[in-house]
Structures are given as C-alpha cells and as structure tokens.
Amino acid sequence: MGEWLRRYEGALFWVGVTSLGFLVLSLALLPILIARLPSDYFAYERRHGFWLRRLSPAVRACVLAAKNLLGLIVVVCGVLMLVLPGQGLLMLLVGLSLLDFPGKYRLERWLLRRRAVLGSLNWIRQRFHKPEFVAPMQPRGSPR
C-alpha cells in the first residue's frame, strides 16, 4: 500500500486539491444560486418562463449542449468523489441539476415537497433576505 501511495503521490495531491476547490466553489456558489431563484420557481406543475426559449434555435442548441456537457462532467466527478476525497453526493446533485432529462422538474418538485429540503433551502434564502420558496403543490390525482 505504501508503495502505491508513493507512486501516485502527485496524482493524489492534485485530486485532493481539485476536490477541495470544488468544495469551496460549491459552498460559495450554491447559496447564491438558491437565493437568485424566484420564490415561485417550484410552485407550478410545469416549468414556465424558461429563458432559453427566447434565444435563436442555433444558440439555444449550443447553450444546451454546453450545459449538458458540463453537467455530465460534474456527475462523473461526483461519482469519482464517492470513492475519492470530496463531496461526491453534493457534486452529483449539482451535475443532475445541470443535465436536461425527462422528469427532471417533477423530481425537483418531489424533493422540495420534503419538509427538511424545503426548510434548508428557505433557511439559505432567509440569510440573503429573500422570500421563502412557495411549496410545490401535490400533482393532480396523487394521494396526499
């Protein structure tokens, strides 16, 4: 084991530095992003007012491709950080939020209906003097 550590000492150092950088970056940016979302962002059954729809189709395709590529890279880094030093679960969630996939908005709303998740996000918003998120309503036809 000691020989393996010495052989990969440089790579392990950079993995640790990168992981620490992602931690600092996520701790700095996530609260700002949460505070910038409108308070009714999760209140509607369908996503509305998506700013990309106002762009030309070519620019929209490029932006979506770049966003999904970044999301995929962050998801891969998150999976790696599950076994390497770092906050893998947090990076997985950030990566999934960047990716576009069917049912994503429904998954986000399901998570926000969890009292602990909504309470944590609203705590962050209070620190930025922003109004609390409007809790998402149950989907039509589902049991309460």
Q: Return the pLDDT at 108.
A: 83
Contact in structure between 75 and 95 (CB atoms under 8 Å) = yes
Model confidence at 85: pLDDT above 70: no
pLDDT: is 124 or 136 the higher one?
A: 124
Model confidence at 144: pLDDT above 70: no
Domain-wise residue ranges, the chain: 15-127
Q: How many CB atoms lie within 10 A of CB 135?
A: 14
d(CA 91, CA 97): 10
Q: Return the pLDDT at 49.
A: 57
- What is the pLDDT averaged over residues 7-30? 82
User: Can you give the pTM of this predicted structure?
Assistant: 0.66
Task: Supply 86's token pair.
Answer: 């770092």
Q: Return the pLDDT at 15.
A: 80
